[in-house]
Structure 1
């Protein structure tokens, strides 16, 4: 299948989100047709291939947002317009957009797939509360993009750990206060797993519908290597996710507790 072979794409523009986070825009019809929450495998020739959430897609261009954390992402972050990357996918199951008011909660680069969700929900004239959190204002990506969103149905809520933008505290703190005001909101979350787990626990109490985008070490992206398996059911983040509903999360003993290292060892995240 063409989706499973890297397509060589030229970067057409970039945007510095923060000092260590950059969005790379390119043209690729397959990525442009992706659903919010799906991911692509980005090949950096001579270095590695890494999974990246699609952070932007329309009929003219698409994009991924990368944070410098290792050799491959540092190389990606250093790329500019005119450079080339390999792209395969999109893969996985994205967010299912529900009717009714929505609460979107993202931490740091976890905001990437939620940017597309917010845009789609606005097109559907759904009421949206978007909580964007980070350590500090200088660590929060997508500020320009969020500022450009129409405000007809969208309320933006910023929170930082040092109080440099919006409230001082954690994204989960603010999200839970907003949720308690209207428990009928559909919840979409992506970011640090302990943040997502805390919000999930609250939805279990109040009965709100929730979907969470999980992250695990991923090698193949197509369900062959089993590296991203979640116990005890063996659900694969690349194939069965990365987005899971509350019903599915409830059955995962790993969620909010354990993850696997690159060598397959299970370690605690608590």
Structure 2
């Protein structure tokens, strides 16, 4: 059963905790039993943060981790919605719809996976690294961020993955520079069976091309502005070799080989 036909759940969620984990980044924990027991790695929820004209549209958030009946969501404070989310205190209630979207896929025979997280791209990789480890799959993580403080979820990766390689723009942790340089070396040296990527789209595009050039399967989680979250409004389209796909239903995880990154790659319609 694919994401478009799975039953979506509307659930009232209670805030268990809401903490700042880095500059401009928070981690909110929501008690949401039904969604917690249904969500799969790479999926997301659509959250109604407040009532009122500014919050008519729900906001989409990746599920970082599930612990029992609780969802963990990493978020970056960027606009009115996430500022309101950052102000939510223990005991506050919101409603959400989920789980939504198509998450990560583990190819048959996978023994070694490389996860690439750029900045807040760590968010949808938390559940994945735990799920892969539980299946006995060796996991290497390449994580990049502007500074040490912005290496969100680093502790989780280091506790779960077989190996973690770090890069920071300012050299405050790991190698100085972009994570794409690490990835190129790791793919060449380790030859993983599959690469999973989430982060800024410029980084994601580079890593996808590195993997595909090496003949390694690659999946990417793509961020798009979303209105409905259920595939009706077509505001979150992604150009692919099979036409326009909806990030909220067909994604957010896509096979990188199917994504058309440039408008010039989109075949003309006759």
Shorter chain as denominator, the TM-score bin is: 0.7 to 0.9
- TM-score, with structure 1 as normaliser: 0.87
CA drift of 1:180 comes to: 0.9
State the Cα distance separating 1:254 from its structure 2 match.
Answer: 4.4
- Out of 153, 170, 173, the position equivalent to 1:165 is 173
Contact 1:92/1:239, CA 8 A, preserved across alignment: yes
Task: String of CA shifts for 1:131-150, please: whole Å, max 9, x gaps.
Answer: 11111112221234334x24
Change (3 A) 1:119 1:256: farther
Deviation at 1:169, TM superposition (A): 0.7
Aligned length: 252
Ranges in structure 2 where 5+ consecutive residues have no aligned partner: 1-5
**Equivalent position of 1:228 in the other structure:** 236
2:14–2:32 CA contact under 8 A, matched in 1: no
Residue in structure 2 matched with residue 263 of structure 1 by the alignment: none
TM-score, structure 2 normalization: 0.87
Answer whether contact 2:18 2:86 (CA < 8 A) is retained: no
* Stretch moving more, 210-219 or 177-186: 177-186
Assess if the C-alpha contact under 8 Å between 1:43 and 1:85 holds in 2.
yes
2:191 to 183, 187, 196: 183
Residue 163 and residue 64 in structure 1: after superposition, are their counterparts in 2 closer, same or farther (change >3 A)? same
Corresponding residue for residue 247 of structure 1: 257
Structure 1: stretches of 5+ with no match in the other structure: 259-270
After superposition, residues 75-224 of structure 1 pair within 5 angstroms as: 75-98=84-107, 99-147=110-158, 149-150=159-160, 154-224=162-232
Could you tell me how far apart the structure 2 residues matched to 1:134 and 1:253 are? 23
Question: CA 1:64/1:38 → structure 2, altered by over 3 Å: closer, same or farther?
Answer: same
Kindly indicate whether the alpha-carbon contact (under 8 Å) linking 2:187 and 2:214 is maintained by their aligned counterparts in 1: no
Whether contact under 8 Å (2:41, 2:103) holds in the other structure is yes
- Is 1:27 paired with 2:27? no
Q: Which residue of 2 aligns with 1:71?
A: 80
- Runs of 4+ residues over 6 Å off in structure 1: 255-258
Q: State the shift of 1:19 in Å.
A: 2.2
Give the superposition deviation at 1:184.
3.8
Distance 2:89 2:265 in 1: 38
Q: Distance in 2 between matches of 1:256 and 1:11?
A: 45
